[in-house]
Structure 1
């Protein structure tokens, strides 16, 4: 083999080793999870991160946040990077009109790239803002239409007495741990079944 060919083959092999090492490193790197939402997302922060190891969790949660307030923040976050999963805790502070909420869900899903899993926690709240039952129905309808989407059934956890809500909306620490576990299970199992 002539020296020029030998040098080219050696360079090619070296490049392949570098690519294989980089691919292995990226496969082992933690996958990012963006959590965006309201006070019920704020309450997940002490628990969810440790349940999602080795995922890196990015937080953007604030008390009182509505879905319309969250949509520009979601778009801005997704311009910065593309996480593997987006967890949304939104709808609790919205009105009770299911058509408006369905449009907000549609806009949120349109902003999220095609290969990203979407975990959306459904709503349970006091009746002061109107019934939330129709909001949960449009969430489930959206999940049936979009294979990326997984709905976490928080409402059922509350209605079956698995959770205590001292103020009628926010759970105690044990309830936030359960909410975190439900979200972590959806990320681990529901998202794995979604197309990548």
Structure 2
């Protein structure tokens, strides 16, 4: 039996498949581990805010770093991520950082099928799971609408526009029910195709500086409201 096992491992190695035998960091918990460890606990009176999301969130920090400078705001976006991945890392990348407020922006990569097929109910459940964890830990929740998307360049033909509208309605209704803040980027950015116009995103998915300029006063107002309600 031992010889057979050794032989099988040898065959897998020859085929370059041994990486599949190793545990994989599917939610990418390693991405911010060092940064989280280096981040000091909030000082007295500090209004820390964590931005949880995907490429749209981390792209904000890359495109407009000045928007985050001088503020107690922590960006924890990871490109390509879906809501189940965010839910797994939510304790590490949000709760453990002890923010007063979390801004969650998620859902479009689920609709694109980045980690497999997802129903709108599955996506909503994962976002609700993050909101419930935050609420249970005394963190005020801001749930952002998913941004408009007429099509995905990396997965064309999925017709996401109406799915995004439906998901946003589900999230708005949930916020109204639970007392969370609903942050409506969608209405401020959508075009007549229910997509994101090129003036806000050259690939019609990921905002440019002009797109983030539309989003910034909206999130600032939502954060101010969240802090005033605490």
Shift of 1:37: 0.6
Shift of 1:78: 4.2
TM-score by length of 2: 0.64
Q: 1:81 to 1:173 in 2, by over 3 A?
A: closer
Please list every run of at least 4 consecutive aligned residues from structure 1 whose deviation after the TM superposition is greater than 4 angstroms: none
> Whose relative contact order is higher, 1 or 2, with alpha carbons under 8 Å and at least 6 apart?
1
Task: Indicate the residue corresponding to 2:120 in structure 1.
Answer: 98
CA distance in 2, matches of 1:104, 1:72: 10
Unaligned runs of 5+ residues in structure 2 are: 1-42, 112-117, 152-156, 192-196
Q: Is residue 220 of structure 2 the alignment partner of residue 184 of structure 1?
A: yes
- For residue 205 of structure 2, give the secondary structure of its aligned residue in structure 1: coil
Task: Indicate the residue corresponding to 2:207 in structure 1.
Answer: 171
| 1:140-151 paired onto structure 2 within 5 Å | 140-147=172-179, 149-151=180-182
Unaligned runs of 5+ residues in structure 1 are: 1-24
Q: Is residue 134 of structure 2 the alignment partner of residue 112 of structure 1?
A: yes
| 1:1-150 paired onto structure 2 within 5 Å | 26-27=44-45, 30-45=46-61, 46-50=65-69, 55-95=71-111, 97-114=119-136, 115-123=138-146, 124-127=148-151, 128-129=157-158, 130=160, 131-147=163-179, 149-150=180-181
Q: What do the CA deviations read for 1:68-119 (whole angstroms, capped 9, x no partner)? A: 1111111223452321000111111112732112211221112113432111
CA-based RMSD: 2.3
Task: Indicate the residue corresponding to 1:21 in structure 2.
Answer: none
CA distance in 2, matches of 1:102, 1:171: 23
- Rg bigger for which structure? 1
The answer to whether the Cα contact below 8 Å between 1:32 and 1:57 also exists between their aligned partners in 2 is: yes
Task: Indicate the residue corresponding to 2:3 in structure 1.
Answer: none
Task: Indicate the residue corresponding to 1:9 in structure 2.
Answer: none
Task: Indicate the residue corresponding to 1:153 in structure 2.
Answer: 184
CA distance in 2, matches of 1:79, 1:164: 32
CA distance in 2, matches of 1:154, 1:78: 22
The answer to whether the Cα contact below 8 Å between 2:189 and 2:214 also exists between their aligned partners in 1 is: no
The answer to whether the Cα contact below 8 Å between 2:100 and 2:227 also exists between their aligned partners in 1 is: no
Q: 1:171 to 1:81 in 2, by over 3 A?
A: closer
- For residue 73 of structure 2, give the secondary structure of its aligned residue in structure 1: strand
TM-score by length of 1: 0.74
